[in-house]
Every structure is written in structure tokens, then in C-alpha cells.
Structure 1
Amino acid sequence: MSESVSINAADWVNLPDIAERFGLPITKVHQLIKEGSLLAVRREGVLRVPAELVANDIVLKHLPGVLTLLRDAGYNDEEALRWLYTDDDSLPGKPAVALGGDLAREVKRRAQALAF
């Protein structure tokens, strides 16, 4: 992903820390990114993941599905991250934050609607 992605994630987690938190080898974290279950961007030359996307030591339940829907709508990874971190007045903030709560299915519905 491009170093120029400009999003306002509250915090960033590097891949070795994710591997440790998940109890996985680093190669499995790279595989999650490669297969589209997780998004990462370079910050200061290091691949990092927005902390909201890896809450409770797991990838958010609905994230892989939302990423698939966004890709089906023609979004690349950079655009998907921007969509996830763009404030939405009808949600409490950003879709990425809402994915971790009761509005996760609503975020998924909105991502699905982008394809139409």
C-alpha cells in the first residue's frame, strides 16, 4: 500500500505485535493481509494496521466480509481504508470504529450498497 494513505486511525499496531497478540507466526499475519482479511499500510517505512481493526486480539469479525464487499465495489486497499476511516454522520464516527460494536452489520450493509 502507498505511504500516502491519509487516515486518522487512533493508534497503529505493527505486524510483529499483531503476531504476538494473536499468538501467530508473523508469516500468518502476512497471509491475512495477502488474502484480504486484514489491511495494512506503511507508516515510517513499517507496515502497520489501525488498532481498531484488530480489537480484542482478533481481526474484527465483520472486517473480512466488509473488505470483500468493498473490493467487489471496485475499491482498492487504499480506497477501502479511506472509506473505513471517513466520518459518517449517521454512524457514531467512522465505519472502522462502528465495526467493533452493535453497528457492524449496518457498516456491512453500507459497504454492500456501494456496489449498486
Structure 2
Amino acid sequence: MTESASTTGQAVEPAEWIDLPDIAERLEIPVTRVHQLIRDRNLLAVRRDGILRVPVELIATPSVRKHLPGVLTLLHDAGYNDEEALRWLYTADDSLPGTPAEGLSGSRATEVKRRAQALGF
């Protein structure tokens, strides 16, 4: 997958990861529901050190980040797999500023969604 022309930074790993049982505890849901969130592309999980993990900042108690499911759907529709979606979410973009993952939690969420949507064209 090629990166957007406006991408100006390097992809960085999330600062902190959380595993699925800890997500279930934090969100007060069964771990099977966490698996369902991942299957439904409402939450992004990738293997790190052989364990399925989620970047902590994608979780917003009591749920996942509000705009994350829509962005993940747009990235999937554009042909991104989970690792590529993670890379896109964590690649700094000076015009945003910051990373799309950071933008999901603030007033830039609409712009992040717009950019994810543009990847499909």
C-alpha cells in the first residue's frame, strides 16, 4: 500500500500497547466481545511479540475511540490490511499535525476520516 502524498513523516510504533484481556477489563466487557470488536473492524489489533495487542490510545473508556470504526472501515475498503492500517494511523503528517491516531481523539477526527476516505480513490 502506498502512503498518501501529504504524508511527511515516518511511521512510529504506538507508545503503549494493551492486550485483549486488559481491554475487556478496562471496558467492562467479556473478552469474547473484544474479539468481536476486532472482527467487526471496530478495533484494530496486531500481533506484537506473538500476542494480539491494541494501541492504548485507540481505547477511550467506556468504548473505543468514536471515529475509529469508520476510519478502519475506510482503510479496509481502500485495501489496507491491519498492519498497513496501523502504519497509516501512526505516520506523522505535518499538515494534520501529528498522526491520524492522535487526530481521532480531538477536533481533527473529521479530517482524519476525510483523508482515509480519499485513499479509496
Relative to the length of structure 1, the TM-score reads 0.90
Instruction: Find out whether 1:106 has 2:89 as its counterpart.
Output: no
Alignment equivalent of 2:88, drawn from 74, 83, 87 = 83
Paired with 2:117 and 2:111, the residues of 1 have a C-alpha distance of: 10
Is the partner of 2:64 in helix, strand or coil?
coil
Question: Aligned partner of 1:113: which letter?
Answer: A
Distance 2:90 2:26 in 1: 23
CA root-mean-square deviation: 1.3
Residue in 1 that maps onto 2:18: 13
Paired with 1:14 and 1:7, the residues of 2 have a C-alpha distance of 19
Of 30, 39, 43, the match for 2:35: 30
> In percent, how many aligned pairs have the same letter?
69
Q: CA deviation at 1:56?
A: 3.2
For 2:12 and 2:63, the matched residues in 1 are separated by 21
Native 8 Å contact 2:13 2:90 kept in 1:
yes
Q: How many pairs does the alignment contain?
A: 111
Segments of 5+ residues of structure 1 without an aligned counterpart are 1-5
After the TM superposition, which parts of structure 1 deviate over 4 Å for at least 4 consecutive aligned residues? Answer: none
Q: For residues 38 and 105 of structure 1, what CA distance do their matches in structure 2 show? A: 18
- The structure with the greater share of residues assigned to helix is 1
CA–CA distance in structure 2, aligned partners of residues 88 and 14 of structure 1: 27
Using the TM superposition, give the Cα deviation of residue 7 of structure 1 relative to its aligned residue in structure 2, in angstroms. 4.2
Structure-2-length-normalised TM-score:
0.86
Which gives a bigger RCO, structure 1 or 2 (Cα 8 Å, sep 6+)? 2
Is the 8 Å Cα contact of residues 27 and 61 (structure 2) preserved in structure 1?
A: no
